[in-house]
Each structure stands twice: as structure tokens, then as C-alpha cells.
A and B are shown apart, each in its own frame.
Chain A
């Protein structure tokens, strides 16, 4: 084989190496000075109770605007005994401007969500009013009926859970399926 012209080869190789090393990767997607506000955050569970007799509306919020680990402000739910209330739950991201209402998204994806309201130490009777589009329909829970029966006063707790289901762990499999997206506790006083 003929002797290789090493000078020419060296020249070609140096040029190609220079080309390779000057290739910079695109990093226009990543700007470290830009604050990424676009993160998903749910800060507030807001439940509105409407007294079906007096038509008064009571607002109770569970809110952690600073994100996980920060201060939580919880309103104590105070309801009158022997009165039927209709309640509406909203889930909000109050860290954004304007406030982002997640409830609409939950309603749109009703087949994969379910609210569960569990009162303890207080005689509160809960009946879910809205359902999803399964056959037969399964509860959703963005609106419910609540009434405190029997005793004239008590102090307890209302546990609110939002379960999220997926194709691999579906809603039709029962409460044991899915994972917990929200779990908060409101102090509950009937008086």
C-alpha cells in the first residue's frame, strides 16, 4: 500500500476534531436565571357549606400556601345540629396569579377521581351528590349533603381524602385502589 501522506491526514483530522469539539449542545430550553413558576402545586382545600333553611353560606379553608413543610392554616368547621347543609368542595392553587381552580379539571376527569369524607367523633352524616360516568355511576364528591343528627353538640374531625385512579389501578376496583392526592383534616364542631 502506498505510503500515507501523514501531513494531509493530520490536517484533515485536526479540522474534524476542531469541528466536533466546537459543537455545543442546545441549551435554549434551560435558562437558569428564569424562575420556573410553572410547577404543579395544590395549596388549598376550600369547602363551602350552604344552610338549606337560612340560605347562609359558611366558608372553611385548609391552606398551605408555602408548599410542603410550611405553615398550614386550618379553619374549624362549625355547623348547627339538625340542619341539612349542601356543601361544595373546591381545590385551588393559590400560589399562582390568578388563582388556579383545579376542581374543573377534577370534574372533567371524574372517572379517575373520588372524594371521601370521613367524620370522626361527631355525628355528621355525609351523602355524596355528584357521580361520574361509569356504568353504574360511582361517586365523585365535589358536592355533598351534610347534616348533624341527634346530639346537640360534639367536637371531632372531618377527614377529607381525594383519591386518584389510573388505568393500572382503576376506580372500579374500589377504595383500596389508586393513590392519595389530597388528605387533610378539619377540626369539626357541632353546636
Chain B
């Protein structure tokens, strides 16, 4: 049924396009511009530089003379964005018509020091160029949701693991938790990311862009990046002197949520400059609502603060920031059950056993999370061709979980069931140098100390300390239309679990892990705007503390988890190939990957339940087997003219446990997304008005082992979303305000996603109307405007 719907929708889109075939539907002046891209120092033309115009969603490429011609531009201005590997990107607003050739001078990264914060494409990360995906500021403005994960799910290859309410975490090609590194700017986030119900501690209001490296990025980011890296980019520093800011207001109908953030930023100076930014945001939500009932106790509240500043001149830049994320999350009331009999009762009921009226009150069970991160970094231009960076990051992550009140010992009343605090101290050093004939070299080292303390009434994981060191070298050669990079890395980690007592038995552990990673990446640009990238990588990952030493009940789904203290590190071999093609109307991208794991660590359901005084519980034992993950992501977009755009995305994953020759459990199902967008003419009062119809189709996960999970995977489903956005000036001297409306799950479809942890008990949320107003403002403006 869902499949025929998808076919009908695609047919509808094609019909619409056959009517609105490449035509100038607006009947106004059309302009063409000539661009020439050159190196700022040598004035040599740059071949195959990427040129983007805001009005087209896809790119143009400069020819061997550095020239590109772009036509069919409406209006009287456009935004130009030019990037090239190894150079800083370039942004400018061009007034139309343009009589002469517009010359773009790109600066090499090593010859001019710019802030390390990345704004948009053009960042050279050494090995993974051509494999990166990017979520731009514009897309973020259109797709703002209630959490950072809501933004991440827009990227092909990312799915979400949800725990009803506000908790969700990203899954990259089936891997998550300790296999995906999340970066807040340049700082690596360290928390209790092993938990399936531990969400991401980042404020979506402070997100200006997202870079995704799918597949092994272990060379530059260390062992935990074996599944990929998600880098959340903050807003770039204010570019003109003065003080300004942005106010965000957001409302959601499904859980009657209100959210707001205020950002103030300032800058003074010219060649020597100082810039700062302060941010504060709050969020309050009540229970979420499935189409026919309330999901009780899924409300949450959040408050975040941050302060960042940068101080720089021609020779060096010093950036410092401190941020705090704090949330209290209700945990769905139907989830904390007694034993296997209680679980069976809940599974047989089509609706949750407990449904209460809507409330903002967060009762038991609930989570309290606080994450504070301090980071400081120095970038120094040693010589025109070399640069050095030193970074220090200190962070603390505190997690408390309060279970449904079943205490008998009243002296313990009010104590959390789980109380974990992990402190991490990291230092990183990086050195980059460019040589003649387009050779580049990058080397780095990192050191980390972690201390995890444990309190609480239940044993989950023991307290531990760990020391990690890593060092890597990367070498890259670039030709006019190709590049080749090779990297090597070595890491070592010492893990000490101090003596602890559990049920009158005493334990202490000490483990040492080490390993090497290597990678080779090749990219090539062909005629007619084809880009090919291929990467071969090997990496490793030491087992995490919960995989080694956990022993206890997980109330979330009435299961008992047991670690295996003898686990050895995982080793992965990955081949990743991607092909992209650009043309004036079309764009497509095809990625294929195969990742082979030796000793892949996973939870294996045990044949016999665990007996406790509370009755029997299904038990899961951490173990390891060889595994393979093979998949692909494809996306295509077609834009016959400025107004219309159609985009289609597809993702496929095959994950197999090679030891038992059965599918790996709990892997994301295959899915397809179609978007039809229309951009309206700018009027005097409304600018950049657009509407978008989005359909998401998720298949049933047919690759599972029957009888092992409590219930079979849910059936597939399709959702329709509708987005409208515009910008306007409420008064003549104001800046452009952005207003977005989003209608999610327009048909109020009842469905359960396979990666919803509570799909055993409840449907996923129904219809949601989101309104988002973004108000930028300028308080003061100083002379010497541009840097």
C-alpha cells in the first residue's frame, strides 16, 4: 500500500514538471555573469573550483582558465560562494546586471590565517574530502526541530534512535554511540554516549551547519570515529565591527512546546580584532501526543548558556569558549515495567497500559543531564606555508536517572537510581605544512584523561579512569583535477577500573589497548562535472566500559545486560566510493560502502532469562563476532528553473553477523525521501518565500532474527511534511526577519519506527505544527567595517 502511494507521488511530480518544463515562468529580466577564479598571490587561474549561487541549489565548475559562466539569474542581486580544496572559501553579494567578469581571488589556507571555525564547504580535512556531506545554514533554518538530532536526520545516511519525548541520538549507517564522534566546533564531546537512551547534549539554536563524515574517519579523529564523525558548526564570528544579535522564538503544537534563544555578538578591530558571542536558550515541552492518545511523562525542559570569544591578528588567533547544556527529560511512563510477565502484558496491549491526561509536569521516571564544556585553542602561522594549532578542552557530563518510585528503604528516598559523572581533559596539537608541487603534510597528537565516578542505587557501570594518547601523520598530493591522500595513526589507551563491590563480591580491572589505523583516499574530477572519490581505510576501536563491565537491569525495556570483561578491540576495513555529477539542471550523488568488522561488539540475546526476586527478565550478553555492513546512499535533484526543485534521497543498509550468519539486530530500515519545492518571486514585503512538500517512506526492516526480539519489527510507513518559509522587514530599518511554518506528519499517521526504543509500548508522535521566527538585529555599528 505504501509502495503504490510512493509511485503515485513520483508520477505526480513528473507530471507537474512536464507542464513546467524549462521555461522562464517569471517573465522578468534574466542575467548572466562571468566569473574568474584565481589564486590571490600568484593570480594563477584555478581549474574546477566549485561555484555556488544561492538561487541554484547546485554548483558550477570553473574551466582550465578559471572561468565559469552562469546564466538564468533573476532579480538584481545574488549571493556567490566559491570554494576550492586547500583554499579559504569566498562569499560575496553581487549586484546584477554585471558588465565585466567578476574576479574571485581565493587565499590559500596556509598563507592567511582565518578562524578555525568553518562556515561552509571548502574545509580540507585531509583524508575525507569528497566523502563529506554538509547541512547548510539555509537548510537548518528550514528544518529547525526540537533537538539537534531533528536537524541531523535530514542528512542521507543518518537515522535516529528515539526514546519517546525529547531523547534521540543519531545513527550513521547503522552505527552509533561509541562508534560515532560528535564535535562541538572543534571540541570532541565526551559523555556517556554508550547509552541508547542518552541523547546528544547540544543546543540546536546554536547550530549553523553540520559536517558529516560517513564511514571511518579514524585517522584524524581517533578510534571512536570508526563509524563516522558529526561535526556541529557554530555561527561564524561577526564579520563587521559592532554589536548585534538574534532572537529565536519557536512553538510546537504536538507537545505544546515553547522555546526561545537570545544571542548577542560583537566585534572590534581591523587587522587585530576581538570578537565575542554570548548565547542563552530555554525550552519547555509537555507530553508528546501520538495520533490517538497521549504519551504520558514525555515532557522535558532545557536551558543552555554559552560564551565564546576570539582574539586574533595576522600571525595568530586565540579562541576560547565555555558552554553549558542542561535538561530534565521525562521517560515514558509505560516503559519502566516489572518483569517478563509485565512486559508481555504491555506487548499484547495495542495502546500503552497507562495513559494520563496531558501535563507539563515531569514525574518519575526521569533523567537529569548537565554538560559543561570549556575549550581554548591557539592557531599560529609559523611561516607562509605552515601553521600550528594547540587545543585544550575540558568537559564534565553528569547524568542522573530517577526510576519509578519503588524504594522500600525510606532512608534512600530521593536518591537517583543511576548517578554518573565523567570528566574529560583533552589536549590536541596539529601541524600543517605545504610543500612545492602541491604536496601537503599534516601531523597531530592528542592526549586525553577521563575520570568517571559512579553513585546511585543501581549498578550500571563501574567507576574508572582512562588515559589515551594518539598520534597521526597525513600526506596529500594534489593535481589539477585529482588528489591522493594517505594517513597513518597510532593510539594507546590504559583503562583502570578501581576496586568495587557488587553483591558482596569484589572486582578490579586494568586493561591496555593499542592499535594502528591507516587510510588512502583518491578523488578525481572528470569532464562534464563528474567527481569520483574512493577511500580504503582500516581502523580499530577498544571496547567501552559498558560493553566490558555492565551488569544490571535496564528498566527501559525490562532487560538485563551483562558485559564481557574479556572483549578485545574491534578492527574494521572499509571501502567507500562516491560519484557525483553536476549540471545546470541536474545533480546526483551515489555512495557505496562496505565495512568489514573483526570482533564486532554487540548485545546477544541469551536463551534463558535471568532469574531474580522480581521474576524472570530477558537477558543480553555483550559478545563479539565478525560482521559486515554494506550499503549505499543515493540522492538526486532536478531543477528545471529557478522556481521549481525536486529532490530524492534513498538509503540502503545490509548488516550481517558473519559468525552466526544472521542479520545484525536493530539496524535502520531502508528509506526514501522525496521533496518538491517551489520558490516564489520576491515581492516588496516578502523575500525568499518558498514552500516544500516532503514525503518520507520507511520500509519494514525485513532483516531480523525472528523470536529474538520481544515483537517483530513494525510495518513500514510513509509520512508527509509540508514546510513554508519567508523573510520580511517589519519596519524599514530592520534586518530581514525569517519566519517558518512546518507541518509534520500532516496526515496524522499512526506508526512505529523500528529504532524507537519504546515501539513495544507506544506509537510515535502524530501531527506537529511548528512555527519559528528568527529576528536578527544590530545594536551598534562602528567605523572600519570590513575586516
Contact = CB atoms under 8 A, between A and B. Distances in A.
B421 A33 contact: no
Nearest to B562: A69
A38, A41, A179, A180 pick with most chain B CB within 10 angstroms: A179
B505 A66 contact: yes
Interface string A1-21: 100101001100100010011
B409 interface: yes
A15 to B, nearest CB: 12
Interface stretch (A52-60, A77-85, A127-135, A181-189): A181-189
B557 to A, nearest CB: 14
Contacts of A27: 421, 423, 453
A153 interface: no
Interface residues of B, number: 73
Contacts of B333: 168
Given A38-B412, A39-B459, A66-B503, A21 B394 contact: yes
A4 B268 contact: yes
A68 interface: yes
A1 B339 contact: no
A31 B419 CA distance: 12
Nearest to A36: B455
Contact of B272 (A6, A20, A21, A102): A6
B455 A180 contact: no
Contacts of B309: 13
A151 interface: no
B354 interface: yes
Contacts of B454: 30, 32, 36
Given A13-B309, A31-B453, A32-B453, A65 B504 contact: yes
Contacts of B274: 4, 9, 13
A33 B463 CA distance: 9
B423 A40 contact: no
B767 to A, nearest CB: 25
Contact of B504 (A29, A31, A62, A95): A95
Interface in A88-104: 91, 93, 95, 100, 102
Given A10-B311, A40-B457, A25 B406 contact: no
Contact of A68 (B363, B392, B421, B553): B553
Given A27-B423, A40-B412, A64-B613, A181 B406 contact: yes
Contacts of B337: 179
Nearest to B268: A4
Interface stretch (B139-147, B438-446, B494-502, B750-758): B494-502
Contact of B502 (A21, A31, A67): A67
B498 A184 contact: no
A33 B451 CA distance: 12
Interface string A169-187: 1000000100111111000
B396 A25 contact: yes
B455 A183 contact: no
B29 interface: no
Contacts of A166: 404-405
Given A69-B562, A166-B404, A169-B353, A179 B374 contact: no
Given A179-B342, A183-B339, A42 B408 contact: yes
Contacts of B410: 105
Nearest to A35: B501
B403 to A, nearest CB: 10
A64 B612 contact: yes
Interface in B396-446: 396, 404-410, 412, 415, 419, 421, 423
Contact of B498 (A17, A29, A33, A180): A33
Nearest to B458: A39
Interface string B748-785: 00000000000000000000000000000000001100
A95 B457 contact: no
B615 A183 contact: yes
A67 to B, nearest CB: 3
A180 B560 CA distance: 16
Given A1-B782, A67-B503, A168-B296, A42 B423 contact: no
Contacts of B510: none
B612 A69 contact: yes
A72 B408 CA distance: 22
Contacts of B268: 1, 4
A59 B394 CA distance: 58
B341 A180 contact: yes
B412 A32 contact: no
Contacts of A30: 419, 421, 453-455, 463
Contacts of B339: 180, 183
B345 interface: yes
Interface in B246-288: 268-269, 272, 274
A67 B409 CA distance: 17
Nearest to A67: B503
Contacts of B404: 166, 179
Contacts of B458: 39-40
Nearest to B309: A13
Kindly name the residue among A25, A29, A39, A184 whose own CB sees the greatest number of chain B CB atoms within 10 A.
A39
Given A1-B782, A40-B412, A182 B614 contact: yes
Contacts of A43: 613
Contacts of A40: 407-409, 412, 457-458
Contacts of B613: 42-45, 62, 64, 68, 182-184
Contact of B560 (A31, A41, A68, A176): A68
Contacts of A37: 501
A68 B610 contact: yes
A114 interface: no
A116 B489 CA distance: 62
A45 B268 CA distance: 73
Contacts of A106: 408
A169 B346 CA distance: 13
B493 to A, nearest CB: 18
A38 B417 CA distance: 11
B33 interface: no
Contacts of A181: 338, 406, 614
Interface in B649-681: none
Contacts of B354: 168-169
Nearest to A44: B613
B505 A69 contact: no
A37 B51 CA distance: 64
A69 B394 contact: no
B383 to A, nearest CB: 23
B411 to A, nearest CB: 8
B372 interface: yes
B376 interface: yes
B611 interface: yes
Nearest to B274: A9
Given A30-B454, A69-B560, A179-B342, A102 B408 contact: yes
Contacts of A67: 502-503, 612
Interface string B554-566: 0000001010000
Interface in A102-152: 102, 105-106
B545 interface: no
Nearest to A6: B272
B529 interface: no
B282 to A, nearest CB: 22
A182 B615 CA distance: 6
A72 B615 CA distance: 12
Nearest to B616: A183
Interface of A: 1, 4, 6, 9-10, 13, 17, 20-21, 25, 27, 29-33, 35-45, 62, 64-70, 72, 91, 93, 95, 100, 102, 105-106, 164, 166, 168-169, 176, 179-184
Given A30-B421, A36-B455, 15 more contacts: A4-B268, A13-B274, A13-B309, A21-B394, A25-B372, A30-B419, A39-B458, A41-B503, A44-B613, A67-B503, A67-B612, A68-B611, A70-B503, A180-B342, A182-B614
6 contacts: A1-B783, A38-B415, A39-B457, A39-B458, A64-B612, A164-B338
